[in-house]
């Protein structure tokens, strides 16, 4: 087997082709020619025929087609010789020891938050290895390789394609050099550590995995989750009141009345968790009640899945925005160095989930108003009041030059030939405030200041058109520029004025717009947050998990105070 691999590498190098690595950045992958070596043994020819039939009979763009194509190319590189079928001393044919150990991993896939049935399929019948029938051997060989590839990808990228949950989950799969992986596994005495390299090493993922392992053992400590429902205000009446009193360890009562004693306990609970202390029990407080021992198994599994979607390396110094938490953190080597509250997009105008790099800071920014806001909000306002743009410090531009809004037929704004765009000038009322933080992306979202500070005091902060508004932007800017010798909060504030100023840090900073409804703190405590966009419940359904609780999805948070803000 090793000789085959060595000779194939020689062929590839002789042809001037670059050999791939086990896990490299998507951007660094270059197209390479595909080497299909001829089958040289009867079993290899049977393997090739079986793979060819599976490849060419599958519907293009289907999962079966993608898997068959990968297998055909992988085996084609190795003359279609088997990887997992080995000959014994007496000439018998059996599954290799490495394959047997991988089967053991498949059986324990539940410990990883995966499903054994995804890998231990009917096609993997180990008894077929002893029959010696070429067709059975070939089918078993390729089915097992397919299962190994599937398991590896599920460990590394998760079971569910993010875009199948929502097109706002702009997440790309992390690449795996499957040929090199299969070769390493086949030649290893212990394949478990090799596959473990593909598992997320993020501390919160590992904490959730530990919580999953202890889930059944802690069943006696687990209270019944509190149901989602209408917002409960002091003096109200709700059938959930007894459960809430029990959760806060207050004396039991048959009354459903939300009395002063319970209000005081709820306010103390909210204060301890950094929620808005108002005594109002809404989705955020219900979600907080359902953290800790009340956490559901399906929530643990769904959040583990989302950690598999994250980049393997978040960056030694990075910005992490958790949308359901309405929070932003700067992390250095995994430790929080700074945090602040944020406002995210409404359920209608959701903040997308993706990772990028902060490349620019802009002081005194212009706001180039998105076409959707021009059509949906500014044009109707101008039709009612032609002086609207002037009163909001806005320019109407045609080919980059200002034109009078009084000379434009705003009723045509919804047509494709409307040639104008709207820009808001820097100033105190600018929707972006005094600074924005750019990571150019197809969604045209970014982090920015805002003149509407009152929204940050609310527990539910889903009010923007998709961008992320930062409560303390200049504090954030100072912390963000901690590694920049020539940029500081003071130097940025010295630029305040009427002119837009662009600042380019020497080092780009990773930024992650993430979506986790469970977070694990340094003490190992699990905190729960509302499913503001419904991504969590949709993922639970896509994973085939039963939900034991109606989804506590945050409804539209209400109209934004500065309704034109991005």
Looking at residue 184, its pLDDT comes to 92
pLDDT interval class at 127 (50, 70, 90):
low
Please tell me which of 78-92, 131-145, 254-268 the model is most confident about, judged by mean pLDDT.
254-268
495's tokens: 């630029």
pLDDT at 13 exceeding the cut of 50 = no
Quick: pLDDT tens for 215-263: 877 666 777 788 888 888 999 998 999 888 888 888 888 889 999 899 9
Percent of the chain with pLDDT over 70: 87
- Residues contacting 241, CB < 8 A, separation 6+: 232, 255, 256, 257, 258, 262
Q: Could you tell me if residue 235 is left (phi over 0), alpha (psi between -120 and 50 degrees) or otherwise beta?
A: left
Smallest CA-to-CA distance from 38 within 73, 68, 80 is with 80
How far, in Å, are 126, 313, 327, 433, 477 from residue 474 at the CA level?
Answer: 63, 27, 16, 11, 5
Quick: pLDDT tens for 273-327: 777 888 888 888 888 888 777 789 999 999 999 999 999 999 999 999 999 999 9
Q: Could you tell me if residue 201 is left (phi over 0), alpha (psi between -120 and 50 degrees) or otherwise beta?
A: alpha
Looking at residue 297, its pLDDT comes to 92
Looking at residue 29, its pLDDT comes to 40
- 3-class DSSP state of 150: helix
Looking at residue 7, its pLDDT comes to 33
Strands 468-470 and 447-448: parallel
Looking at residue 2, its pLDDT comes to 35
Looking at residue 128, its pLDDT comes to 62
* Structural domain spans, the chain: 2-199, 368-425
Residue 554 DSSP class: P
pLDDT at 496 exceeding the cut of 90 = yes
- Name the more confident of 381 and 292: 381
Name which of 33-42, 73-82, 387-396, 485-494 the model is least confident about.
Answer: 33-42
Mean pLDDT value across residues 138-163: 93
pLDDT interval class at 12 (50, 70, 90):
very low
- Name the more confident of 64 and 508: 508
What global pTM score does this model have? Answer: 0.83
- Residues contacting 161, CB < 8 A, separation 6+: none
Looking at residue 227, its pLDDT comes to 84
Catalytic positions: 448, 467
Q: Give the chain's end-to-end CA distance (angstroms, integer).
A: 59
C-alpha span between 219 and 199 (Å, rounded):
27
Quick: pLDDT tens for 112-122: 999 999 999 98
Mean pLDDT value across residues 167-180: 94
pLDDT at 146 exceeding the cut of 70 = yes
Quick: pLDDT tens for 504-513: 999 999 999 9
Looking at residue 514, its pLDDT comes to 98
Mean pLDDT value across residues 345-372: 95
Residue 237 DSSP class: B
Looking at residue 4, its pLDDT comes to 34
Looking at residue 502, its pLDDT comes to 97
Mean pLDDT value across residues 461-478: 96
- 3-class DSSP state of 537: helix
pLDDT interval class at 436 (50, 70, 90):
very high
Name which of 34-43, 88-97, 136-145, 390-399 the model is least confident about.
Answer: 88-97
Asked if 519 and 527 count as a contact pair (C-beta separation under 8 A), the reply is yes
Smallest CA-to-CA distance from 561 within 426, 475, 457 is with 457
pLDDT at 28 exceeding the cut of 60 = no
Report the mean per-residue pLDDT for the chain.
Answer: 85
Q: If residue 267 lies in a helix (H) or strand (E), which one and from where to where?
A: helix 260-272
218's tokens: 């802690």
pLDDT interval class at 54 (50, 70, 90):
confident
Asked if 121 and 139 count as a contact pair (C-beta separation under 8 A), the reply is no
């Amino acid at each position: 087997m090793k000789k085959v691999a060595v000779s194939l590498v020689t062929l590839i190098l002789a042809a001037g082709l670059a050999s791939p690595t086990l896990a490299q950045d998507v951007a660094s992958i270059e197209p390479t020619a595909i080497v299909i070596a001829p089958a040289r043994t009867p079993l290899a020819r049977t393997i090739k025929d079986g793979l060819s039939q599976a490849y060419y009979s599958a519907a293009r763009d289907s999962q079966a087609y993608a898997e068959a194509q990968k297998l055909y190319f992988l085996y084609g590189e190795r003359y279609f010789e088997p990887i997992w079928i080995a000959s014994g001393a007496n000439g018998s044919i059996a599954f290799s020891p490495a394959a047997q150990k991988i089967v053991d991993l498949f059986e324990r896939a539940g410990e990883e938050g995966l499903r054994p049935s995804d890998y231990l399929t009917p096609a993997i019948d180990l008894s077929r290895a002893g029959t010696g029938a070429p067709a059975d051997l070939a089918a078993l060989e390729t089915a097992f390789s397919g299962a190994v590839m599937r398991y590896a990808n599920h460990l590394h990228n998760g079971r569910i394609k993010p875009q199948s949950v929502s097109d706002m989950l702009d997440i790309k799969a992390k690449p795996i050099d499957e040929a090199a992986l299969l070769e390493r596994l086949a030649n290893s005495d212990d394949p478990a550590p090799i596959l473990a390299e593909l598992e997320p090493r993020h501390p919160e993922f590992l904490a959730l995995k530990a919580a999953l392992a202890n889930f059944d053992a802690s069943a006696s400590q687990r209270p019944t989750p509190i149901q989602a429902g209408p917002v409960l205000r002091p003096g109200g009446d709700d059938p959930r009141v007894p459960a809430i009193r029990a959760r806060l360890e207050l004396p039991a009562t048959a009354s459903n009345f939300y009395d002063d004693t319970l209000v005081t306990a709820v306010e103390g609970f909210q204060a301890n968790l950094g929620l808005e202390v108002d005594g109002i029990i809404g989705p955020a407080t219900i979600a907080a009640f359902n953290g800790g021992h009340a956490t559901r198994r399906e929530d643990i599994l769904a959040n583990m899945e989302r950690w598999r979607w994250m980049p393997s390396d978040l960056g030694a110094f990075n910005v992490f925005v958790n949308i359901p938490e309405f929070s932003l953190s700067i992390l250095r080597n995994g430790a929080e160095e700074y945090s602040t509250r944020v406002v995210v997009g409404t359920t209608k105008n959701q903040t997308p989930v993706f990772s990028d790099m902060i490349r620019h800071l802009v002081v005194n920014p212009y706001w180039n108003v998105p076409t959707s806001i021009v059509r949906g909000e500014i044009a109707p306002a101008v039709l009612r009041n032609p002086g609207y743009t002037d009163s909001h410090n806005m320019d109407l531009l045609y080919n980059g030059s200002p034109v009078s809004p009084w000379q434009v037929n705003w009723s045509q704004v919804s047509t494709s030939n409307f040639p104008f765009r709207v820009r808001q000038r820097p100033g105190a009322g600018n929707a972006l405030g005094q600074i924005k933080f750019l990571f150019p992306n197809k969604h045209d979202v970014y982090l920015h200041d805002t003149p509407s500070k009152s929204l940050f005091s609310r527990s539910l902060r889903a009010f923007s058109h998709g961008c992320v508004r930062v409560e303390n932007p200049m504090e954030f800017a100072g912390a963000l520029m901690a590694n920049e010798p020539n940029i500081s909060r003071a130097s940025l504030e010295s630029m305040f004025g009427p002119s837009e100023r662009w600042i380019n840090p020497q080092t780009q900073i990773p930024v992650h717009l993430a979506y986790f409804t469970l977070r694990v703190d340094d003490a190992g405590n699990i905190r729960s947050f509302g499913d503001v966009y419904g991504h969590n419940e949709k993922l639970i359904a896509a994973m085939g998990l039963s939900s034991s609780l109606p989804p506590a999805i945050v409804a539209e948070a209400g109209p934004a105070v500065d309704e034109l803000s991005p």
